[in-house]
Chains A and B, each alone.
Chain A
Amino acid sequence: MSESDFINRWAEQASDRLNPILVKETRQALKSKQFLATFAIMLLGGWLISAFVLMSMIGANDESPIGKNVFPWYFTLLSFTVMLVVPFGAFRSLLAERDLNTYELLNITTLSPQQIVWGKWLSAQVQTFIYFSAISPFVAFTYLLRGVDFPTLIFVLLALMFASMLVALMSLTFSTFARQRQAQVVLSLVLLGQLVWIMGASITTGTLLVSRNSIDFSDPAVYWGGLVIGTYYVALFVLCLQIARAQLTFESDNRSTGIRLSGSAIFWLTIGWLSIGFHQGYFGGTSPSTNLATEPIYSTLSVLAVFWGAVCVFAATETETLSRRVRGQLPKNPLVRLIAVPFLPGGGRGMLLAVGHLAALIGLAFLVQRSLHGPDRVHAMNFTSAVSCYIIIYAGLAAVMGRWLRSATPLFRPAQTRAFAIVMFAVMWMVPNIFTILRGSGRTTNELLYLTDPVHSLVRVSGGGPWAGKIMMALSIAASLVVLLNLRTMLRGLAEVVLLREPPPDVPEVIPDIEPVSSDMRRGVMLDSAVAPEPSTTS
């Protein structure tokens, strides 16, 4: 066997272990004019910049380091390819499957949605790797020109690579929503704008870090910061992957559990980092601090509230009944099923997810409050409770509205309910403020009239003024009422999983009763290529 035969055989054996989409797209990329043109432009740009620098150095008496001045050019070139060309290519890659009528061919193979997403993402990463390999010699050249700190240089390049990986996955996730031609055009423009912005931000940040050598690697805060960013990076990566997977998953399959679990992980990650930060800030010194630094807590909780509110609205507006397929995959142990309830598809179970997490958050805030001194502890507790009430109210109202709309017409799907809910919340938010503007005599003294404006009410609650208690009371009553409105659905959702009780459909009966399928028919005939029975595992 010749050496080339051996290499070919080895390559083929290795390719058997790779994702089929990665193999196919790498083959395509190597023949693609777009890839070759981008690569050529990048190399040409690198050579031109180098030639220009060398020419400017010839005959110059100034021996000051110029690495800092040259680095931004190479970095811009690299950022353009890995933060704009590659992510947009990943976005287009999935859209092209729909345009070329190949997506359905891909969909009916035995490739799982996860494999499709991974394959597309890995193909983008192969290109990123090639571009990085091409630009590395030029970056090394900037180090030789002096003035650039080597660890900072490596850090910035690594950060860019990881950022590119995440942005490529986000772009891919974005493309799973673009099914119609009009949506594709709109989303392409939106994404392009976002990518240009992200590219600009990464160029600015990278250049600043290198030019100022501003990272002190001996400072432990750098590693703590890196750890915080790293954990969120992984969590966000998994969430994007789960969203993309859900978008490509068959309708009767479980499209919710992955997103719920990832959302929950980010929720608890935030609470965990908040707790560590709070502990370090409050008890980190020799004696406990008398003042609680509430701003970082309020800011973090506000960001968490927006995120968790979105997760809860998504979960609470799903259709209620589990599909036959998901029901068949439920764990056999009732206790495991009980634990799994909030993470299984269904609006009622979505409300259980929302209420369960927020009750735990309020409980945690209560425990923290007991260990503190000073007035801020009460305000922080109230703020946490008020934020939780708002999430319950919004998610619960969206769930009620979704059920009502589905009962009015079966055409209403969860995605439309969510869009309706967002519009409804925006209107609720704006109404008291528009009323104030129309009155023309400033704000009314009754703060309860602004209850539908969460920003206004949360500022009042966190400030601890005379209206804080009344606002808290009103929010608590409203949240309780919304929970009561959803209680029946929540209990049905619980019973469906724990007691395996099938709830009535939440859409009107539009089709006459169909006689159930006999077991004989379902068993049918097993063909030669018999498939192993699907294991009954948790979703």
Chain B
Amino acid sequence: MTEETTTTATLDPPPPPEVAPTIELHHLHRFFGNLKAVNDVSFRVHPGEVMGFIGPNGAGKTTTMRILATLDVPTAGDAFVGGYSVVDKPDDVRRILGFMPDSFGKYQNVNVIEYLDFFARAYGFRGAARRDAIERVLEFTELGKLAEKPIDTLSKGMSQRLGLGRTLIHDPQVLVLDEPAAGLDPRARVELRELIQLLATELNKTVLISSHILTELSEICNSAAIIEAGQILASGSRDAIMKGHRRIGPEGTTALEVRVAENVEKLQRWLLEQPRISAVRIAERHARFEFAGNEADQAQLLKSMIEAGIDVIAFHGRAESLEDVFMAVTKGITQ
């Protein structure tokens, strides 16, 4: 794997809805006594899609993922992985699903290659098939140099790589990754993100990933599901969610941001006088607003702004982030 391939990997938009989903949650419920950890959760993830599963602590992300991984059973409802019910056919689900829990389980007195060898055997690989599977994973995770290293001496970043390698050992079509980037330093996080992007773009895996770092998720996901207090607040393609939960601006407008050297009040007055501008919001030395017009109109707007004597130092479009949507749809409810 080269630097070029990792940096140029981009995600296509999610497949059209008529493609059969690889993961499907159907009115999933999981109650622990009076606590409704998962309360009527339904969403779909299609082949090759990377779905970000977003929610505050205690929202029900891990419980949902554990049900998908057949480590827990729903109180009601069902979930399907590759068409197999997690309740009725857990053995079949396990063959096509790789689950990476938030905590990395380390065996003592075991090195990297022995660790992968054990899980390859546990998934039924024998002889050359087992050696090939280990080789493939070592190559993908770039852990070949550490093959003989005891796993309890690995750094957090390398441990997560090994955890991802374990998840991939049986070449599953579906990956469920619970907070894979938690506790990683920035470099390890970027490297892990690139690996996950590769899984979707080059290996066409279906990935359901949860994380608290929303900026990071937005870079690797082409769809998202936002959960709070056990209930899904929004789900679908990233663009659809963004569109569905815009806080400002009418349909067909573009969010723009202008930064000025000084006198932001002058900019505000000028913006409010313009015909195709709405939802103006002023902050320290910059303004955000909605503009109804194409790119040529935006160029003309900038030209007019400069001609009006406004000291523009930056002028750019502002895409609403997942973080914005998350903050808009969640209410900070904790269970």
Contact = CB atoms under 8 A, between A and B. Distances in A.
Contact of A527 (B73, B82, B87): B82
A109 B123 contact: yes
Interface stretch (B113-121, B212-220, B258-266, B275-283): B113-121
Interface stretch (B1-9, B90-98, B139-147, B193-201): B90-98
B327 interface: no
Contact of B71 (A102, A108, A253, A527): A108
B70 A110 contact: no
A252 B173 contact: no
A521 B20 CA distance: 8
Contact of B118 (A24, A32, A108): A24
A20 interface: yes
A23 B116 CA distance: 13
A408 to B, nearest CB: 14
Main secondary structure, interface of B, reads loop
Interface in A27-52: 27-28, 31-32
A328 interface: yes
Interface in B162-180: 166, 170-173
A534 B80 contact: no
A511 interface: yes
A514 B41 CA distance: 12
Contact of A534 (B89, B101, B122): B89
B33 interface: yes
A419 to B, nearest CB: 18
Contacts of B24: 521, 524
Given A24-B114, A522-B83, A525-B21, A105 B119 contact: yes
Contacts of B22: 524-525, 527
Nearest to A97: B105
A370 interface: no
Contacts of B130: 16
Interface in B1-53: 19-22, 24, 26-27, 29, 31, 33, 47
Contacts of A250: 70, 73, 90
A250 B70 CA distance: 8
B290 interface: no
B80 A522 contact: yes
Contacts of B126: 16
B105 A104 contact: yes
A101 B101 contact: yes
B70 A108 contact: yes
A289 interface: no
A109 B110 CA distance: 18
A529 interface: yes
Interface residues of B, number: 59
Among B33, B88, B130, max chain A CB count under 10 A is at B88
Contacts of B33: 411
A484 B96 CA distance: 48
Given A100-B107, A252-B73, A514-B27, A524 B21 contact: yes
B244 interface: no
Given A328-B88, A527-B96, A529-B95, A521 B80 contact: yes
Contacts of B91: 110, 534
A529 B71 contact: no
B85 interface: yes
A100 B126 CA distance: 26
Nearest to A112: B91
Contact of A517 (B78, B114, B118): B78
Given A100-B107, A101-B104, A325 B29 contact: no
A109 B82 contact: no
A532 to B, nearest CB: 9
5 contacts: A12-B127, A28-B109, A102-B105, A106-B122, A525-B20
Interface of A: 12-13, 16, 20-21, 23-24, 27-28, 31-32, 100-111, 250-253, 323-325, 328, 411, 510-511, 514-515, 517, 521-529, 531, 534
